[in-house]
Amino acid sequence: MSTNRAEIVDANFTARVRDGRLPVSSLAQPLSLAEAGLAPAAACDLFESQVLSRHLDFSARLLKARSESFYTIGSSGHEGNAVLGKVFRRSDMAFLHYRSGALFIQRQKQLPGSTPVWDMLLSLVASAEDQISGGRHKVFGSLPLLVPPQTSTIASHLPKAVGMALSIRRAKDLNLAATVPGDSIVLCNFGDASANHASALSAFNAASWAAFQGVPVPIVFICEDNGIGISVSTPSGWIQSVAKGRPLLRYTQCDGLNLADAYRGAAEAVAFTRRTRQPSFLHMRTVRLLGHAGSDVEGQYHPTQRIEAAEADDPLLHSAALLMAEGVLSGDEILNLYESVRQRVARAAEHAILRPKLLTAAEVAYSVLPHRQGAQIPAPVPLPTAAQREQLFGSDWRYLEKPQHLAKLINWALADILLRYQNTVVFGEDVAQKGGVYNVTTGLYQKFGARRVFNSLLDETSILGTAIGMAHNGFIPIPEIQFLAYVHNAEDQLRGEAATLSFFSGGRFTNPMVVRIAGLAYQKGFGGHFHNDNSLAVFRDLPGVIIACPSNGADAAMMLRSAVRAAHEQGRVVIFIEPIALYMTKDLEAPGDGGWLFPYPSPELEVPVGQCAVHGDSDKLVIMTYGNGVYLSRQAALTLAKDYDLNVKIIDLRWLAPLDEDGIAAAVKGCKAVLIVDECRRTGSQSEALITLLVERLDPLPKLRRLTADDCFIPLGLAATVTLPSKESIIAAALEMTTKTPATAVRT
C-alpha cells in the first residue's frame, strides 16, 4: 500500500465517488444550492476550478520528483476558496496567500482568453515565460486580474491590503485616476496560523481603528482555518473568539468544505462590505491535505488517524456529494471530469517543462528596478504657476529667498510637491495638526486638508503598509517614520514587500513611495539609542531601493523633488533620511554666522538621483562623508585651512544608494589621502562600501582611513556624542594622514 499521501488522496477520491462513500456535511442545516443563490452551472464551474487546483498540486509533486518543478506548497484542502474567485469582482484587488489555487483559477475565468492551467504550470516549473514573476518564484499574481504577487508570506500582505482599502474612497474624493473603481473592495486571505502574526494584528487593528472613526475601509479579511500552522495546532475556537471581539469588524463564518455554505458566507461578507464600506472578517473552515509542503512528513507529528480524518473531509468529496445529491452531476460525470482534468494538466505540464528558464544573473536581476511593464510610463508633471505657488505659500512667499534651516526648506519642498503632484499624500504619527515632532510638516494640513495630510495610528507596520497599499491605487505616498529606530518595528514591510514587488512581478507591479525618516545622531534634547539611532544597515542591502541623506536644506529640497519624480515616473521606493540634529541648525563656524542657512531653491531645480557634491579643492586630502558628517567636516575644513594651511576637498555623498561611483572616483583621483567620515557604527556602515569602492576603482591607491562611530549604542546625557566622529577628531585624523603634525584622533 502506498504511503504517499498525494497518491492516497487521489485514489480515495476516485474510490469514494465510485462507491458512493461520500462525507456528510457537518452543518446543522445544510443549504441547497438554490438557497445559497448558486445556480447548478455555476456550481459545476466552481467544482471544475477545485479539481484543476487539486491536479495542479499533484502535478507539482510529480514534476518535483523529476526535478522539473521547485515548489510543492499546495492548496489541497482549501479548494473551497474557489467561491472567492466568483463573488469578488475582477476589479476588486486581491491580496492572496499561497493556498489560493482554486481562487486564482476561478478569478482567471473572469478574464476572457485566460489560460489558468498553463499559467500556473509555467510558475511551478519556474519558466521565464511565467506571466507574473518570470520564473523568479512560484506566486499567484496577475496585472490584469489585479493580484499583486506574494511569496511565502506570513501575514505581511495584510497591512498593505488595508492601505489599498483606505485609498479607494480617498482617490474618489480627490478625483484621481485610480487603479480600481470607486465601488471596489479588497480581498485579503490568509491562514489561521498567520492570523496570530504581528503584521496581521496590526492590519486588523488599523482597519478597526479607522472604521471606528467613520473612515471607509472596504476590505474582506478571509481566514482560511485549517487548524494548523505547519505542525502547531490552532486551539479550537481561537479564531472565532479573537475575530468576534474586534470593534467594527463584522464576523461571518462559513464551511469551506461545503460549496453552498462557502458561497453563502462569501457572498454575505462581500455584500456587506460593498454596501457599508466597512471591513468584515470571513472565517472559512478548511482542512489541510498533503501536509504543509512536499518536504513535510506529517506523520512525524500527527497520528495516522488524524491525517485520515482530514482526508475523509476532502472538500472535493464534499462538493461531489452536494452535486450528486442535487442531481447536478452523476458519479460517472464527476469521475470523467476528474480524469479529463488530470490528462489536461499532465499534457500541459510536459509542454511547460520545455519552456525557457532564467539562466543568467542579468535575466534574474532585470526586474529589481521597476520597468513599468504593462503600464504606461507617467509623463512628467508640469510645475505649478507662480500665482498658484504664491497663493499656496501665503505669508511665507516673501521669505522664500531668505536663507532658512533644513526643517523649513523640507517643509516648503513638501508644500510644492503636494501642489504639483495631486496624487501625493503625507501621513504618519503627529504630522497633521501638530506638524510633526520637529515641525517639519507644520501648515501642510491647513493648506491641503485631511485627505492629503493626515495622522496615522502609532504603528509603523500600518504606516508603511498603508503606503504600499495606497501606491497600488495610483497614489505617491510620502509617509513619515518619526524616528529611525522605529522603522525596525516594521522593516519587513520594506524588505519583504515594498522592495520585492517589482522583482517578483517582472516589473509589472510597483509601489512608488518616498519614506521620510527622521534619524541619525547628534541631536540635542533627546538621548539614548531610540532617538539617536546611527545605523542605516537595514536599508543598505535592499536591491533597487534609493537611499537619500541630505546634509543641508537646499540639497534636501532638491533631492526630495528628485525622489518624488523617481517614484512617480519610475515606480521607485525611496528612503529619505533627514538628520534630526541639522533640522534647526543655523550656524557653521560661530554663533550668529548663519553658515548653515540656505535659500529655497527654485522649484525646477533638482539633484539627480545618485549625484554627489564636491566642496573645495585639494590634492592632499579628500574627506568623504554624508549627513551630519558633512556639517562637521565643513567645520573642520575651516580650521584646517586657517590654522594649518591645509585645504581639503569634501565629497558629500547625498545619495547612499545608488552611489555616484564615477563621480567619487573622479573626485578622489590624484589625491594623496582619503578620510571617510561616517557617523554610523563602524561595523555595517557605509564606510565599508566606500573603502571597497576605492580599492576596486583606484590604482594607485591613496592612503585610506575610516573615522566612524564606535560599535556601541548611544547613551543619554553628556556622553551622547563621545562615541561619534567630531570636528576635533576629524581635524586630528586629517593632520595625521597628511603628516602636518602628529596627532591622536579624539572625540569630544
Q: What is the pLDDT of residues 228-264, one digit of tens each?
A: 999 999 999 999 999 998 999 999 999 999 999 999 9
The DSSP call for residue 644 is H
Helix axes 315-325, 331-352, angle to 10 degrees: 140
pLDDT at 370: 86
The three grid cell numbers given for residue 424, joined into one nine-digit string = 501625493
CA angle 79, 141, 510 (to 5 degrees): 150
Whether 746 shows a pLDDT value over 70: the answer reads no
Q: By the 8 A CB rule, do 191 and 158 touch?
A: no
Query: In 3-state terms, what secondary structure has residue 541?
Result: coil
Count of Cβ atoms closer than 10 Å to residue 244 Cβ: 13
Model confidence band, residue 1 (pLDDT cutoffs 50, 70, 90): low
Residue type at 419 in one-letter notation? L
Per-residue pLDDT averaged across 492-506, rounded? 94
Q: By the 8 A CB rule, do 279 and 307 touch?
A: no
Give the least confident one: 110-119, 298-307, 349-358. 298-307
pLDDT at 532: 86
Residue type at 193 in one-letter notation? A
Question: E strands, 267-386, where?
Answer: 280-285
Model confidence band, residue 741 (pLDDT cutoffs 50, 70, 90): low
Mean pLDDT of the chain: 94
Give the least confident one: 75-89, 287-301, 431-445. 287-301
Model confidence band, residue 399 (pLDDT cutoffs 50, 70, 90): very high
Per-residue pLDDT averaged across 699-727, rounded? 93
Model confidence band, residue 584 (pLDDT cutoffs 50, 70, 90): very high
Q: What's the pTM value of the predicted model, to 2 decimals? A: 0.95
Which ranges constitute the DSSP H helices of 191-314?
A: 198-212, 238-244, 259-276, 304-312
Whether 525 shows a pLDDT value over 80: the answer reads no
Per-residue pLDDT averaged across 533-561, rounded? 96
Q: What are phi and psi of 209, to 5 degrees?
A: -60, -45
Question: All domains of the chain, ordered by start, with CATH?
Answer: 39-287+304-365 (3.40.50.970), 391-582 (3.40.50.970), 613-738 (3.40.50.920)
Whether 373 shows a pLDDT value over 60: the answer reads no
Q: How far is residue 657's CA from residue 630's CA, in Å, rounded to a whole number? A: 17
Whether 740 shows a pLDDT value over 80: the answer reads no
Whether 375 shows a pLDDT value over 80: the answer reads no
Query: In 3-state terms, what secondary structure has residue 233?
Result: strand
Per-residue pLDDT averaged across 647-666, rounded? 97
Environment class of 15 (CB within 10 Å of its CB; exposed 0-12, middle 13-18, buried 19+)? exposed
Q: What are phi and psi of 478, to 5 degrees?
A: -125, 75
* Sheet-wide strand order for 250-255: 94-95, 186-191, 219-225, 280-285, 250-255
Q: What is the pLDDT of residues 444-473, one digit of tens each?
A: 999 999 999 999 999 999 999 999 999 999
Per-residue pLDDT averaged across 634-646, rounded? 97
Whether 744 shows a pLDDT value over 80: the answer reads no
Residues near 451 by beta carbon (within 8 Å), at least 6 away in sequence: 170, 173, 174, 425
pLDDT at 296: 83
Model confidence band, residue 150 (pLDDT cutoffs 50, 70, 90): confident
Whether 55 shows a pLDDT value over 70: the answer reads yes
Environment class of 242 (CB within 10 Å of its CB; exposed 0-12, middle 13-18, buried 19+)? middle
Whether 743 shows a pLDDT value over 60: the answer reads no
Whether 526 shows a pLDDT value over 90: the answer reads no
Whether 742 shows a pLDDT value over 50: the answer reads no
Model confidence band, residue 155 (pLDDT cutoffs 50, 70, 90): very high
pLDDT at 378: 80
Per-residue pLDDT averaged across 404-422, rounded? 98
Model confidence band, residue 297 (pLDDT cutoffs 50, 70, 90): confident
Q: What is the chain's percent helix, strand, coil content, to nearest 5?
A: 45, 15, 45
The three grid cell numbers given for residue 714, joined into one nine-digit string = 548611544
Q: How far is residue 635's CA from residue 376's CA, in Å, rounded to a whole number? A: 48
Residue type at 161 in one-letter notation? A
Quickly list DSSP for 704-732: EEEEEE-SS---SGGGGGTTS--HHHHHH
Q: By the 8 A CB rule, do 549 and 627 touch?
A: yes
Count of Cβ atoms closer than 10 Å to residue 545 Cβ: 21
pLDDT at 726: 97
Quickly list DSSP for 56-100: HHHHHHHHHHTTS-------TT-GGGGGHHHHS-TTS-EE--TT-
